């Protein structure tokens, strides 16, 4: 096998502009691509320096159902500070809680897609 990384993860959304504001303004992601295609808008965002991007897939693109994605793990250096920032932005946060692998919390994007924040435990 010669797989080197995941290219993108699809996050189905109902409103690409609303999702874009959430991922850039609230989470601080950068726009990786924003293109008009015959199938619709190809919109991708990512944390700075990330190899894997998130495709914010609008209605009708790929048959994905908004709000159905779960378990996307975002690694952070300070889960507590990020949870405080999310709460200040009006995002409901569950946690953070201590786990054997680190300190983590959960939240949802405006469409209900489930994301997690993790500060990894020292090894």
Q: Closest Cα partner for 100 from 117, 79, 70, 123?
A: 123
pTM: 0.92
The DSSP result for 82-109, as a single string, is HHHHHHHTT--EEEEEEETTEEEEEEE-
- According to DSSP, the residues that pair with 54 across neighbouring strands are 9, 45
Q: Per-residue pLDDT tens for 14-67?
A: 999 999 999 999 999 999 999 998 888 999 999 999 999 999 998 877 788 999
Spatial strand order in the sheet of 53-57? 8-12, 53-57, 40-46, 30-37
Q: Which CATH superfamily groups domain 8-59+66-120?
A: 2,3-Dihydroxybiphenyl 1,2-Dioxygenase, domain 1 (3.10.180.10)
The answer to whether 48 touches 30, Cβ cutoff 8 Å, is: yes
In the chain, domain spans: 8-59+66-120
In tens, the pLDDT along 85-94 reads 999 999 999 9
Give me the pLDDT at residue 64, please: 85
The number of beta carbons lying within 10 Å of the beta carbon of residue 86 is 18
Quick: pLDDT tens for 105-118.
999 999 999 999 99
């Amino acid at each position: 096998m010669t797989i080197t990384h995941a290219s993108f993860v699809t996050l189905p959304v109902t409103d690409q502009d609303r999702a874009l504001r959430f991922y850039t303004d609230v989470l601080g992601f950068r726009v990786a691509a924003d293109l008009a295609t015959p199938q619709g808008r190809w919109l991708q965002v990512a944390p700075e320096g990330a190899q894997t991007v998130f495709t914010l897939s609008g209605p009708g693109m790929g048959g994905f159902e908004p709000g159905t994605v779960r378990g996307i793990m975002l690694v952070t250096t300070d889960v507590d500070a990020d949870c405080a920032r999310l709460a200040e932005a009006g995002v409901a946060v569950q946690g953070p809680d201590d786990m054997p692998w680190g300190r983590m919390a959960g939240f949802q994007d405006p469409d209900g897609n489930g994301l997690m924040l993790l500060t990894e435990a020292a090894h």
